[in-house]
Amino acid sequence: MPITTQQLIRFKQEGRAIAALTVWDYALAQILDEAGVDLLLVGDSLGMAILGYDTTLPVTLDEMIHHAKAVRRGTRRALLVADLPFMTYQESVEQAFHSAGRLLKEAGVQAVKLEGGHPTAITTVARLVEAGIPVMGHVGLTPQSVHQLGYRQQGGSQEAGEKILSQAIALEQAGVFAIVLEHIPSDLACQITQKLMIPTIGIGAGPHCDGQVLVTSDVLGLSNRQPPFAKVYANLREAIAQAVGEYTAEVRARSFPDQPPF
């Protein structure tokens, strides 16, 4: 049975950890879905992992829809969530409705994720949820604010930690079904997780969250640079390079194909 937002909340109540990964195409979606991942996120991290941008900022709504449509065709069980890209929801609630509506209608995602816990974001979340659009929150390190925050850990001081906690509580009150906690201290993530009734999904936030998410290219060893909190479970970059190198050598040596196909 397909996983729903309400099931994720039940998973938290049952103490069942939630496994989430980013995804960007049909083939990968099939593999991750069949492997039992609970939540697939078409993250704007694809801008860096797949499209070659230096940050997530250049990613457009059309690019997100393009990739999310492909992922939708490969997903049967996992809950499918897509990021709202930079400047596709910040201008107004009406802009957020337009962007989220396109992702749900054209790409078939089941929910959207937006960054930040400031008052404007809280208002936007509340209006989207009121209209029946499931929303996932995201606090701590928010990559769309890279020019303001950088990529350093957030919430290290008491004041900064209390601010992130209050943002998380406000997002829950606004109606998000889950919240990503990115690159914050483990004890702060634990405190937030205990305070909230909705699941927390950590990335670089320690072991006490209700679930974990990573960028799949980091997990598979495809990235040039790994974030400090990622774990590499396979070195596909090396395996692909070796396989392609062998193929290229055989073609140049005229040993492939070894006999006519017919």
Pairing verdict, β 39-42 and 79-83 = parallel
User: What are residue 79's phi and psi, to 5 degrees?
Assistant: -70, 130
Domains located in the chain, CATH noted: 5-252 (3.20.20.60)
Q: Which residues are catalytic?
A: 182
**Residue 85 · residue 59 · CB < 8 Å:** yes
Amino acid code (one letter) for 129: V
Nearest to 164 by CA among 135, 128, 200: 200
Cα separation of 176 and 159, whole Å? 24
- Please, what is the end-to-end C-alpha distance for the chain in angstroms? 45
In terms of C-beta density within 10 A (0-12 exposed, 13-18 middle, 19 or more buried), how is residue 16 classed? middle
Q: Is 202 left (phi over 0), alpha (psi -120 to 50) or beta?
A: beta
Cα separation of 171 and 206, whole Å? 21
Residue by residue, pLDDT tens for the chain (262 residues) are 899 999 999 999 999 999 999 999 999 999 999 999 999 999 999 999 999 999 999 999 999 999 999 999 999 999 999 999 999 999 999 999 999 999 999 999 999 999 999 999 999 999 999 999 999 999 999 999 999 998 999 999 999 999 999 999 999 999 999 999 999 999 999 999 999 999 999 999 999 999 999 999 999 999 988 888 999 999 999 999 999 999 999 999 999 998 766 6
Q: How far is CA 152 from CA 146, 183, 237, in A?
A: 9, 8, 26
**Residue 101 · residue 76 · CB < 8 Å:** no
Q: Which residue has the tokens 């201008």?
A: 91
